[in-house]
Amino acid sequence: DQQVKQNSPSLSVQEGRISILNCDYTNSMFDYFLWYKKYPAEGPTFLISISSIKDKNEDGRFTVFLNKSAKHLSLHIVPSQPGDSAVYFCAASGSGTYKYIFGTGTRLKVLA
């Protein structure tokens, strides 16, 4: 039961270019989405969120886009930096629940 999917297990991008990480979900009741970054041997670190009433949220180099009709969200990192190299997880939650469902993660490697 994979309600949240990140179909690209890995992504390599040159420093300074745009990184686009994708996430698809199946449950139309999800209304709040988070992106986390995770380094090895550390816990997930919150990056950016978006609620279903918006289609875009921006915070510095990070922008999240939400397409509700396609049940798809994406995280854009511009410009990408070597320090962005990590595993990125999207997570989704719906009203009436306390839990977030996480995707399988995408390992981003930013090449210097």
Partner 1 sequence: EPEVTQTPSHQVTQMGQEVILRCVPISNHLYFYWYRQILGQKVEFLVSFYNNEISEKSEIFDDQFSVERPDGSNFTLKIRSTKLEDSAMYFCASSENRMGANVLTFGAGSRLTVL
Binding site for partner 1 (CB under 8 A): 32, 34, 36, 41-46, 49, 51, 89, 91, 93, 95, 97-105
- Report the Cα 6 to chain-centroid distance in Å: 9
Nearest approach, Cβ of residue 15 and partner 1 (Å): 27
Residue number with CB closer to partner 1 (99 or 112): 99
Nearest approach, Cβ of residue 67 and partner 1 (Å): 21
Residue number with CB closer to partner 1 (42 or 69): 42
d(Cα 37, Cα 73) in Å, to the nearest integer?
Answer: 16
Nearest approach, Cβ of residue 104 and partner 1 (Å): 5
Instruction: Please report the DSSP string for 14-78 in residue order.
Output: ETTS-EEEEEEE--TTEEEEEEEEE-TTS--EEEEEEETT-SEEEETTEEEEEETTTTEEEEEES
Residue number with CB closer to partner 1 (20 or 91): 91
Residue number with CB closer to partner 1 (80 or 89): 89
Nearest approach, Cβ of residue 28 and partner 1 (Å): 17
**Edge-to-edge strand ranges of the sheet holding 4-5:** 4-5, 19-25, 72-77, 62-67, 56-59
